[in-house]
């Protein structure tokens, strides 16, 4: 009895470990090719060719960039705090990767008679966990900026941190409206409710819009990339960094972009649901494993569309001024999301009451 229990636990551990390794490497590879895609999209929008030397169509460019960053000399300024200087990029990277733990990447797969859920941790506070990790991401920026012992870095870090914590509020408020509809904080349940029915974006268009804008701000992407405003702050909070530590900061941004696209797709666009197709019927005809593959692909396609929008916006819209940014966040988005929340609450109450006052 005891050994059987242990064996099951061992399988469980192996299953989760494989899942973690797979998801981490997938997000790293996707982030790697995001850098490539970003340059290609920028080139396309600006009527250039983009990277095309390394490999066919320049496809090996991210590898070359990574190699370059690894080979470069690593400089640690001797006035800075050594430990915190190294901790900064580590934290940024860690916080970027941790969110992927609660996202359901697909349905179940059947592996040698064992049902495997394609989600690392199905905790019942999934969305709050995402928020917790996002708020940890601020420390990567702040510690890095402060430990560099440089005025520009410090200014940029303060800008970045205040931007992130002010945009967390409308983000949370827009999600509260969503949670009233779904009645659950579990990511898997939210996706499950959207399977073969209307996506949440049709119930919460305003909530989605607010969340979308806030996601831009949280990822420090243009038009909200004030922490990296080159013409005002030299280079931003990672000015003193060189070599792969700089690479980690830049990489963390791309991973954040990927993860926030995944979160948006999961919460508002049905996650791994395949649109226009009855999933249950398809599962019966093609089998569980193939279905999980299709679902994963469908999620990835949704995510790629979001990432493209991220890049499209970056190369189209100019940067905000700092006071405009704060005005938009505190005076524009927060009241809007509060109104959204109250209207949703009233409608949910009415519906539960049978549409009677």
Partner 1 sequence: MALGSAIMVVISRNPVHSVLWLIVTFFAISGHYILMNAQFIGIVNLIVYAGAIMVLFLFVIMLMNLNAETEPQKNKWLKLAGVVAGGCLLLVLVAALKQAEVKGKVALLGTGDIGLIKNLGKALFTDYVVPFEISSVLFLSAMVGAVVIGKK
Long-range pairs for 307-311: beta carbons < 8 A, 24 or more residues apart: 307/34, 307/37, 307/257, 307/258, 307/261, 308/37, 308/41, 310/216, 310/219, 310/221, 310/257, 310/261, 311/37, 311/38, 311/41, 311/42
Q: What sign results for the dihedral spanned by CA atoms 200, 201, 207, 213?
A: positive
- Answer for the pair 113, 205: CB distance below 8 angstroms, yes or no: no
Binding mask 185-224 for partner 1 (x = CB under 8 A): x---------------------------------------
Q: Does 139 bind partner 1 (CB under 8 A)?
A: yes
Considering only CA atoms, give the Rg of the chain.
22
Helical H runs in the chain? 2-45, 61-71, 82-98, 126-147, 151-182, 187-194, 200-203, 205-218, 230-233, 243-268, 279-286, 288-314, 322-327, 334-352
Work out whether the CA dihedral 260, 266, 268, 272 comes out positive or negative: positive
By CB under 8 A, which span of 15-23, 120-128, 232-240, 275-283 interacts with partner 1?
120-128
Using the rule CB under 8 A, is 322 a contact of partner 1? no
Binding-residue pattern over the window 12 to 51 for partner 1, x denoting contact by CB under 8 A: ----------------------------------------
- Give the nearest distance from C-beta 82 to partner 1 in angstroms: 13
- The 10 Å Cβ neighbour count of residue 10 is 10
Q: Is 327 in the site for partner 1 (CB under 8 A)?
A: no
- Going by C-beta distance under 8 Å and a sequence separation of 6 or more, which residues neighbour residue 66? 32, 247
Q: How far is the CB of 129 from partner 1 (least distance, A)?
A: 6
- For partner 1, the binding residue among 98, 128, 176, 288 (CB under 8 A) is 128
Total chain residues near partner 1 (CB under 8 A): 24
Q: Given the complex with partner 1, which of 109 and 252 has the nearer CB atom?
A: 252
Sign of CA dihedral 337, 339, 341, 343: negative
Under the criterion CB under 8 A, does residue 86 sit at the interface with partner 1? no
Q: Does 121 bind partner 1 (CB under 8 A)?
A: no
Rounded CA-CA distance 325/163 in Å is: 8
The nearer residue to partner 1, 92 or 138, going by C-beta atoms, is 138
Q: Which region among 121-129, 202-210, 222-230, 346-354 touches partner 1 (by CB under 8 A)?
A: 121-129
Q: Which of 131, 203, 308, 315 binds partner 1 (CB under 8 A)?
A: 131
167 with 217: CB under 8 angstroms? yes
Which of 131-139, 219-227, 261-269, 280-288 is the region at the interface with partner 1 (rule: CB under 8 A)?
Answer: 131-139
Q: CA nearest 144: which of 130, 133, 131, 158? A: 158
161 lies in the site for partner 1, by CB under 8 A: yes
The rounded distance, in Å, linking the Cα atoms of 145 and 228 is 12
Residue 229 in contact with partner 1, rule: CB under 8 A: no
Indicate which single residue of 76, 158, 250, 313 sits in contact with partner 1 (rule: CB under 8 A).
Answer: 158
Q: How far is the CB of 29 from partner 1 (least distance, A)?
A: 29
By C-beta, is 260 or 298 nearer to partner 1? 260
Residues in the site for partner 1, rule: CB under 8 A? Answer: 84, 123-125, 128-129, 131-132, 134-136, 138-139, 142-143, 146, 154, 157-158, 161-162, 165, 168, 185
């Amino acid at each position: 009895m005891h050994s059987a229990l242990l064996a099951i636990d061992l399988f469980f551990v192996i299953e989760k470990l494989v899942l973690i390794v797979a998801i981490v490497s997938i997000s790293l590879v996707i982030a790697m090719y995001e850098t490539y895609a970003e340059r290609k999209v920028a080139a396309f929008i600006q009527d250039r060719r983009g990277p095309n030397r390394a490999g066919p169509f320049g496809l090996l460019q991210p590898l070359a960039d990574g190699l370059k960053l690894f080979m470069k000399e690593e400089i640690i300024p001797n006035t800075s705090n050594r430990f915190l200087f190294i901790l900064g990029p580590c934290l940024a990277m860690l916080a970027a990767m941790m969110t992927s733990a609660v996202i359901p990447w697909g349905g179940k797969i059947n592996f040698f008679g064992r049902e495997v859920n394609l989600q690392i941790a199905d905790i019942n506070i999934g969305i709050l966990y995402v928020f917790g990790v996002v708020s940890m991401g601020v420390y990567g920026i702040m510690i890095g900026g402060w430990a560099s012992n440089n005025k520009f870095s410090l200014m940029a870090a303060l800008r970045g941190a205040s931007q992130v914590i002010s945009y967390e509020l409308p983000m949370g408020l827009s999600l509260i409206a969503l949670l009233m509809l779904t009645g659950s904080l579990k990511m898997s349940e939210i996706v499950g409710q959207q399977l073969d029915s209307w996506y949440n974006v049709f119930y919460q268009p305003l909530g989605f819009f607010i969340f979308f804008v806030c996601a831009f701000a949280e990822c420090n992407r243009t038009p909200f990339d004030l922490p990296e405003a080159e013409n005002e702050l030299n280079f931003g909070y990672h000015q003193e960094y060189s070599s792969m530590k700089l690479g980690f900061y830049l990489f963390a941004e791309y991973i954040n972009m990927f993860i926030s696209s995944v979160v948006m797709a999961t919460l508002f666009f049905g996650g791994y649901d395949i649109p226009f197709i009855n999933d249950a019927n398809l599962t019966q005809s093609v089998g569980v494993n193939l279905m999980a593959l299709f679902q994963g692909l469908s999620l990835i396609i949704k995510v790629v569309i979001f990432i493209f929008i991220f890049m499209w916006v970056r190369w189209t819209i100019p940067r905000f001024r700092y006071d405009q940014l704060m005005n938009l966040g505190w005076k524009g988005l927060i009241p809007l999301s509060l109104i959204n929340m109250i209207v949703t609450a009233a409608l949910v109450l009415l519906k539960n009451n049978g549409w009677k006052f």
